[in-house]
Amino acid sequence: MRQIKPNVYSVGTIDWDRRLFDELIPLPDGTSYNAYLIKGGEKTALLDTVDPTQTMLLIDNIIKIGVDKIDYVVAHHAEQDHSGSIADILALYPQAKVVTNPKCKGMLIDLLHIEEEKFITVEDGETLSLGDKTLRFVYIPWVHWPETLGTYLQEDKIFFPCDFFGSHLATSSLFVDDEPTVYEAAKRYYAEIMMPFRTAIGKNLEKIKALDIDMIAPSHGPVYNRPEFIINAYKEWVSNNVKNEVVLAFISMHESTKKMVEYFVNALIERGITVKQFNLAAVDIGKLAIALVDAATIVLGSPTVLTGAHPQVAYAAILADALRPKTKFASIIGSYGWGGKMIEQITGLISNLKVELLEPVMVKGCPKNDDFAALERLADEILAKHKEPGIEG
């Protein structure tokens, strides 16, 4: 338990050991579930709770402050890493009401079976007085669920945006004290969780311009006491601009695809194109997702397994399709023994990406001079495409 401003306490918990979220997303640096307790002159509010695995740590933190009552539990988001302890808090503080918007209320009833009479619903822009402190509620939908709500603490100029601007980072630092480390963690978080909702996030960035913000206190990772650091990073990530970069994700079984990848990577580097290569046999999908935030082009490389792509490459294609990066171009390189339908399969798997498909290079057996020449032509085409407007050199 620590104070971020007078009578505004950080009471969340640090999960140093968690290594997967949703049994999907790698957490190499753990995470935190941030909750904040605001003691007003008349009322006390708890903003969010924590993952149900850490309920007792949250309760310990609240008890240490010495509050004898909680009047409001503000639920910004129904996902259980923030809502999962609400029932325990209501059991401990039975007079407390859950304050949220109507959409989140419905989701909390569905997910946690909280009784309907426990809720107070608020509209976008509505305020709630705690006496000398005023909470203003700001709807920020689709960061990354449809119901998400933020709170602006008017007197202290603190914005609590829940997952928005968060980072999966377990750290004892209450505030950001190492911007490069937090930038990487926040970009990973954006890539894995926020990127599919880039347009909605852009609208929310516009909306919060109206707030005079001194501090951003998200629900994961340290508090930003220099809010422009993370706001500017988000502006860049959601912009339509991409970089002169190729993400090359591949796997090889008997070296044919690997020989193509090695040749192709050199051809791209010789043309001044940044390459981020990922061998999918042992990849941190978070790093792959981060690379997709900015890259102008993605190239998938695969041998043919039975009639299609290697399953690891199909997985990468499905992942990229789900994350919907702003990538503008795509291609496929690979090899086959006697036939197959890999091109049709992969292009079907990335149908959500708004990309122009550049001529794939498929090789029968081990690559020969003609095949390397085809890779040179693909590198030339990528170079030409990367000179188009909106692609930063």
Provide the binding-site residues for ligand FEO, judged by CB under 6 A: 77, 79, 81-82, 144, 163, 219-220
Query: Residue 327 CB, nearest distance to ligand FEO (Å)?
Result: 24
Query: What pairing do the DSSP bridges indicate for beta strands 329-336 and 31-33?
Result: unpaired
> What span, in angstroms and rounded, lies between the C-alpha atoms of 197 and 183?
19
What CA–CA distances, in Å, run from 57 to 33, 168, 201, 310?
Answer: 11, 19, 32, 44
Smallest Cα–Cα separation from 213: which of 251, 255, 158, 252? 158
Query: What pairing do the DSSP bridges indicate for beta strands 119-121 and 44-47?
Result: unpaired
> What span, in angstroms and rounded, lies between the C-alpha atoms of 313 and 302?
6
Query: Residue 341 CB, nearest distance to ligand FEO (Å)?
Result: 37
Task: Rank residues 151 and 219 by Cβ distance to ligand FEO and give the closer one.
Answer: 219
Query: What pairing do the DSSP bridges indicate for beta strands 149-153 and 31-33?
Result: unpaired
Query: Residue 195 CB, nearest distance to ligand FEO (Å)?
Result: 14
Instruction: Give the helix/strand (H/E) hosting 98.
Output: strand 97-100
> What span, in angstroms and rounded, lies between the C-alpha atoms of 63 and 48?
16
Task: Rank residues 197 and 329 by Cβ distance to ligand FEO and give the closer one.
Answer: 197
Q: Which residues contact 53 (CB under 8 A, 6 or more apart)?
A: 15, 84
Cα-flanking dihedrals φ and ψ of residue 22, to 5°?
55, 25
| Chain residue whose CB lies nearest ligand FEO | 79
Continuous H helices in the chain = 55-65, 80-83, 86-92, 102-112, 179-189, 198-207, 227-238, 256-270, 285-292, 311-323, 342-349, 369-385
DSSP 8-state class, residue 190: I
Q: What is the DSSP string of 249-265?
A: EE--SSSHHHHHHHHHH
Task: Rank residues 51 and 371 by Cβ distance to ligand FEO and give the closer one.
Answer: 51
Task: Rank residues 23 and 117 by Cβ distance to ligand FEO and give the closer one.
Answer: 23
Give the position of tokens 């402050």: 65
Q: CA angle 227-180-49, nearest 5°?
A: 55
Task: Rank residues 84 and 367 by Cβ distance to ligand FEO and give the closer one.
Answer: 84
Task: Rank residues 219 and 252 by Cβ distance to ligand FEO and give the closer one.
Answer: 219
Query: Residue 193 CB, nearest distance to ligand FEO (Å)?
Result: 7
Query: Residue 49 CB, nearest distance to ligand FEO (Å)?
Result: 12
Query: Residue 12 CB, nearest distance to ligand FEO (Å)?
Result: 11
Task: Rank residues 22 and 68 by Cβ distance to ligand FEO and give the closer one.
Answer: 22
> What span, in angstroms and rounded, lies between the C-alpha atoms of 18 and 9?
24
Task: Rank residues 144 and 187 by Cβ distance to ligand FEO and give the closer one.
Answer: 144
Query: Residue 84 CB, nearest distance to ligand FEO (Å)?
Result: 10
Query: Residue 21 CB, nearest distance to ligand FEO (Å)?
Result: 8
Query: Residue 35 CB, nearest distance to ligand FEO (Å)?
Result: 12
Query: Residue 95 CB, nearest distance to ligand FEO (Å)?
Result: 27
Task: Rank residues 20 and 306 by Cβ distance to ligand FEO and give the closer one.
Answer: 20
Task: Rank residues 48 and 245 by Cβ distance to ligand FEO and give the closer one.
Answer: 48
